[in-house]
């Protein structure tokens, strides 16, 4: 018998190759090197501790079978974990790994040549010279729960955020995914959660990062050959906040690495907070396995704030800046800027500036001018005729067909959509809407609105129609 570590491992590999998918083989087995064979114990070197855990978690049976075939029933597998040496010389060193009670394949403790359990990893966020790993959280303390005003539009997301802040990793909201349109407060809320956690649990490592920067860091790490450092770094975080995860769409390498980081954090009871401009179901070009992880916890939507919330947001800003403004001006602004808190803030700040710098009286006229600048699309009154025109054009029908008695499915849907939008965008009664759209009664309109509501939640294609038309009508 002339077995070497290499030959034993090669034989194991060819067995493994036949039994796992190609991609998994490439990812998890190709990077492994055989190191040593001592009687029936084979040592292999894996790139990271995470790697080792992953193998133990997913491939222990397969490894056991392969190794038993080669080395008999007393086969043992020893892992050595390769790490970048923090002291600068390029020699890899091994880290002690916890022993593990699996039957045949036992991981034994291996020597730690360099007495350093928690090597400091090279990372942009680490403040040099501080002994414990100390990471700048990248949080903006101006974004707090106190100044994130509560309303129906954000109650769920806000309270879930508070729950998470009180017990990071300890609620079922893990991950917490906050989603909603632009300027509705996702970034603010994400920071607020982090700020609150830092306040309550100063020892926790919190990190806020945009998905864009995360992606750049990852790409850099691949270029510089420090991918493992990158992964290790993120695996040290207790509370990881990633803003705008939709940015990861189409970026499969980054998604892949995030998937592993996510799993590691989640398995270790760490908290993950994500924001996105879309609900998971609507995210495009994000791997299924990642989407399914996103759905493990809670997805909470930020909606457009209602009138009262808009008023309180405005008053809060005025109060903060010590400015008084007539009630009717505040109401005017709140009435006319509906869909975006950022625009709401912009308008009031601009009004404050106008009044204080130019010593101008803030009049409704001035408010009008300012609001028009901020609301990209000044709302004109939308009429039922206009809605019918837009809907017919969208489906390439003429208005007569839309209004006709035909039961063709696509025409019926178009008609129902016209009714739905008429209800949504005008103040007409159901009866009135019915009589203008092909002379139907109010029950038909009511039915149409319900049908649309249903289809929007069940039919993705249909939802796209609604979104598209909605956009056109809001232009």
Positions that interact with Mg ion (CB under 5 A): 186-187
Chain center to CA of 441: 44
Should residue 154 be labelled a site residue for ligand ADP when binding is judged by CB under 6 A? yes
CB 425 within 8 A of CB 387: yes
334: its two tokens: 């709140």
How far apart CA 428 and CA 269 sit, in angstroms, is 53
Should residue 149 be labelled a site residue for ligand ADP when binding is judged by CB under 6 A? yes
Sheet holding 33-38, edge to edge: 33-38, 41-46, 76-81
Q: Which residue is nearest to ligand ADP (CB)?
A: 185
Q: Which residue is nearest to Mg ion (CB)?
A: 187
Let me know how many helices (H) and strands (E) the chain has, helices first. 20, 8
For residue 183, the partner it binds in ligand ADP, Mg ion, none, with Cβ less than 5 to 8 A by kind, is ligand ADP
How far apart CA 351 and CA 333 sit, in angstroms, is 10
Q: Residue 21's CB: how many other CB atoms inside 10 A?
A: 9
Least Cβ distance, residue 185 to ligand ADP (angstroms): 3
CB 260 within 8 A of CB 50: yes
Should residue 186 be labelled a site residue for ligand ADP when binding is judged by CB under 6 A? yes
80: its two tokens: 């050595």
Which span (20-28, 182-190, 431-439, 460-468) binds ligand ADP, by CB under 6 A? 182-190
Binder among 94, 187, 205, 299 for ligand ADP (CB under 6 A): 187
Residue whose CB is less far from Mg ion, 210 or 226: 210
Residue whose CB is less far from ligand ADP, 429 or 474: 474
Concatenate the DSSP letters of all residues of 273-331 into one string. Answer: EEEESS-GGG--S--HHHHHHHTTSEEEEE----HHHHHHHHHHHHHHTT----HHHHH
Binder among 9, 148, 208, 258 for ligand ADP (CB under 6 A): 148
Residue whose CB is less far from Mg ion, 186 or 264: 186
Residues in the chain: 475
Cis status of the peptide bond prior to 175, with omega within 30 of 0: yes
Q: Which of residues 284-323 bind ligand ADP (CB under 6 A)?
A: 313
**What residues pair up with 209 in beta bridges, in sequence order?**
242
Least Cβ distance, residue 184 to Mg ion (angstroms): 9
Which span (38-46, 179-187, 205-213, 421-429) binds ligand ADP, by CB under 6 A? 179-187
Residue whose CB is less far from ligand ADP, 187 or 255: 187
For residue 12, the partner it binds in Mg ion, ligand ADP, none, with Cβ less than 5 to 8 A by kind, is none
Nearest 10 degrees: Cα torsion 321, 324, 329, 330: 50
CB 143 within 8 A of CB 191: yes
Residue whose CB is less far from ligand ADP, 185 or 194: 185
127: its two tokens: 């403040």
457: its two tokens: 């939640």
Which secondary-structure segment (H or E) carries 460?
Answer: helix 460-474
Binder among 256, 282, 287, 345 for ligand ADP (CB under 6 A): 345
Give the orientation angle of helix 227-235 with respect to helix 252-267, to 10 degrees: 40
For residue 345, the partner it binds in ligand ADP, Mg ion, none, with Cβ less than 5 to 8 A by kind, is ligand ADP
Q: Which of residues 108-147 bind ligand ADP (CB under 6 A)?
A: 147
Should residue 346 be labelled a site residue for ligand ADP when binding is judged by CB under 6 A? no
Should residue 342 be labelled a site residue for ligand ADP when binding is judged by CB under 6 A? yes
Residue whose CB is less far from ligand ADP, 325 or 341: 341
Residue whose CB is less far from ligand ADP, 152 or 393: 152
Residues engaged in binding ligand ADP (CB under 6 A): 147-149, 154, 180, 182-188, 313, 341-342, 345
């Amino acid at each position: 018998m002339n077995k070497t570590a290499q030959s034993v491992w090669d034989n194991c590999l060819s067995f493994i190759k036949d039994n796992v998918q190609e991609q998994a083989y490439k990812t998890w087995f190709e990077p492994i090197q055989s190191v040593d064979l001592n009687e029936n114990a084979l040592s292999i070197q894996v790139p990271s501790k995470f790697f080792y855990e992953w193998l133990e978690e997913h491939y222990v049976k397969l490894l056991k079978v392969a190794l038993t075939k080669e080395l008999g029933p007393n086969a043992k597998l020893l892992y050595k974990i390769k790490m970048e040496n923090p002291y600068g010389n390029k020699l890899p060193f091994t880290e002690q790994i916890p022993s593990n009670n699996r039957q045949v394949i036992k991981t034994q403790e291996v020597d730690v040549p360099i007495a350093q359990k928690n090597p400091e990893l090279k990372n942009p966020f680490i403040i040099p010279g501080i002994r414990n790993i100390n990471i700048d959280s990248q949080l903006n303390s101006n974004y707090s729960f106190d100044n994130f005003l509560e309303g129906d539009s954000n109650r769920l997301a806000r309270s879930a955020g508070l729950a998470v802040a009180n017990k990071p990793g300890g609620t079922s909201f893990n991950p917490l995914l906050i989603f909603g349109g632009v300027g509705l407060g996702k970034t603010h809320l994400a920071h607020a959660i982090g700020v609150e956690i830092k306040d309550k649990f100063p020892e926790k490592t919190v990190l806020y990062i945009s998905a864009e920067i995360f992606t750049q860091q990852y790409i850099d790490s691949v270029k510089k050959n420090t991918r493992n450092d990158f992964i290790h770094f993120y695996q040290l975080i207790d509370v990881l906040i990633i803003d705008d995860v939709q940015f990861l769409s189409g970026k499969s390498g980054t998604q892949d690495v995030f998937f592993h980081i996510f799993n590691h954090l989640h398995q270790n009871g760490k908290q993950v907070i994500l924001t996105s401009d879309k609900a998971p179901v609507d995210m495009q070009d994000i791997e299924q396995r990642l989407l399914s992880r996103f759905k493990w916890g809670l997805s909470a939507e930020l909606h457009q704030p209602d009138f009262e919330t808009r008023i309180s947001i405005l008053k809060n800003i005025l109060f903060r800046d010590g400015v008084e403004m007539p009630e009717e001006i505040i109401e005017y602004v709140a009435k006319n800027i509906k869909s975006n808190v950022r625009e709401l803030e912009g308008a009031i700040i601009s009004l404050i500036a106008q009044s204080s710098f130019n010593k101008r009286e803030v009049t409704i006229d001035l408010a009008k001018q300012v609001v028009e600048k901020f609301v990209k699309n000044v709302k004109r009154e939308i009429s039922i005729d206009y809605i019918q025109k837009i809907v017919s054009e969208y489906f390439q029908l003429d208005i007569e067909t839309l209004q006709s008695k035909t039961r063709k499915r696509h025409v019926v849907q178009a008609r129902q959509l016209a009714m739905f939008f008429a209800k949504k965008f005008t103040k007409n009664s159901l009866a009135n809407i019915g009589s203008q759209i092909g002379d139907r009664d109010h029950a038909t309109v009511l039915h149409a609105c319900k049908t649309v509501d249903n289809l929007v939640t069940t039919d993705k294609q249909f939802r796209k129609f609604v979104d598209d038309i909605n956009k056109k009508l809001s232009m």
